[in-house]
Structure 1
């Protein structure tokens, strides 16, 4: 499973900041590592330089082997919380998709 991290101009993206989030996603989604070929994680600050509640958005697009990609989003106060929330939503979506595939 390849993980690509992208940030907008309002969020500083670096190896040091993305490494713990990549490690979290790798561990959190390990159950689905055979189905996921690639994850694209997009972090953006919806308010730009202004402060606000839940202004960091995480969009995760999962490319699944032999299926259409799926995408989930989550808004939170920090990048870490946004990634964790989006990961939870992605796990729920993947459980539904993989569960349906097993039933056929």
Structure 2
């Protein structure tokens, strides 16, 4: 399973953030690693330098072999909360989709 982390120019990405996302998703989706080919993570600050409540967005797109991508988004005022919220949603979506497919 490949994990790709993308940030806009308002977010300080770096290795620590990428490592956090990769560890979180690898641990959570380990049971589905044969079905999930790739997870793309997009982290953005919607208001940029202006600030504001819940302006940090994390969108995750999981690609499951033979199916259309699953996409979820979570907004927060904290980058880690946005990532964790999106991760919870994508994990739940992947689990439901794969278990349904397995029968």
1:1-104 equivalent positions in 2, closer than 5 A:
1-103=1-103
CA distance in 2: counterparts of 1:100 and 1:2, whole angstroms: 23
Moved segments of 4+, more than 4 Å = none
Superposed CA RMSD in Å reads 1.3
How many residues align? The count is 103
Residue 100 of structure 1: how far off its partner (Å)? 1.8
TM-score, normalised to structure 1, is: 0.90
Q: Is there any run of 5+ residues in structure 1 with no aligned partner, and where?
A: none
Instruction: State whether residues 62 and 94 of structure 2, in contact with CA within 8 Å, keep that contact through their aligned partners in structure 1.
Output: no
TM-score under structure 2 length normalisation? 0.90
